[in-house]
């Protein structure tokens, strides 16, 4: 049976999409690679850059439409710094403002820097309701006002690791948006270090940019077929 060149091309493109995971919104580029591509530096001491990026996001109405290059870059600036830097290194306005843009802007991936004064966080479970259950415990025990108890400590650390390392839709809207209220009271008492990733999170390594090496093996034949 004779197959047209157009059909062959569609088959090739379909294979590329399957191999590279096109459409899978759980695959994000590393923030180090995003910073290199967009021309900014992840520097926890540069609060002016973070504040300027926040102002630019607001001025360009990126909360409604984040499709422009400027919106994309400025969101990556605030999100990468938020996810990597320690809380006291961030502008106070950044914590709450970030959530206004998360639904519409594409994120990158980076692990939190290690605070040598803290113990390790517990392992995260992203497939159950442990995060929401911990938020319920925190609320029921009024931990946002007094987080000194061991009950608050355990619940806060579980909520923190789920909030910071699991996919965004793991937590309920209430737990996601109110986490920072708990953080203000609990983190100084019961903060912990998130699990470290492999390598230096500020260095862009080959393979961290979201591209699949296998894609090149499928793209080459495309040039052989005319439309």
For 60-105, the three-class secondary structure string (H helix, E strand, C coil) is CCCCCCCCCHHHHHHHHHHHHHHHHCCHHHCCHHHHHHHCCCCCCC
pLDDT of residue 223: 38
Q: Average pLDDT across each block of 10 residues of the chain; the chain has 227 residues. List them in order.
A: 45 40 54 96 97 97 96 97 92 88 92 88 93 97 96 96 89 91 90 78 74 36 38
pLDDT of residue 152: 97
Write down the domain spans for the chain. Answer: 28-112+200-211, 115-195
Global pTM? 0.61
pLDDT of residue 208: 55
**227 C-beta neighbours (distance < 10 Å), count:** 5
Write out the two tokens for 174.
């209430």
Helix (H) or strand (E) holding 162: helix 150-165
pLDDT of residue 197: 61
pLDDT of residue 125: 92
């Amino acid at each position: 049976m004779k197959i047209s060149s157009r059909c062959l091309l569609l088959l090739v493109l379909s294979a590329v999409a399957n191999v590279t995971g096109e459409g899978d919104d759980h695959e994000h580029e590393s923030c180090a690679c995003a910073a290199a591509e967009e021309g900014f530096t992840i520097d926890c001491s540069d609060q002016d850059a973070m504040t300027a990026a926040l102002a630019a996001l607001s001025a360009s109405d990126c909360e409604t439409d984040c499709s422009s290059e400027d919106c994309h870059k400025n969101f990556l600036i605030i999100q990468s710094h938020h996810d990597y830097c320690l809380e006291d290194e961030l502008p106070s306005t950044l914590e709450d403002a970030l959530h206004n843009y998360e639904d519409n802007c594409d994120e990158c991936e980076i692990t939190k820097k290690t605070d040598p004064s803290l113990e390790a966080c517990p392992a995260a479970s992203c497939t159950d309701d442990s995060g929401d259950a911990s938020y319920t415990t925190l609320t029921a025990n009024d931990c946002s006002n007094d987080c000194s108890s061991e009950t608050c400590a355990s619940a806060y650390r579980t909520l923190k690791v789920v909030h910071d390392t699991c996919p965004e839709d793991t937590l309920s809207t209430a737990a996601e948006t109110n986490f920072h209220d708990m953080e203000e009271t609990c983190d100084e008492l019961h903060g912990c270090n998130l699990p470290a990733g492999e390598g230096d999170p500020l260095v862009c390594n080959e393979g961290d940019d979201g591209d699949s090496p296998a894609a090149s093996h499928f793209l080459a034949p495309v040039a052989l077929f005319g439309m």
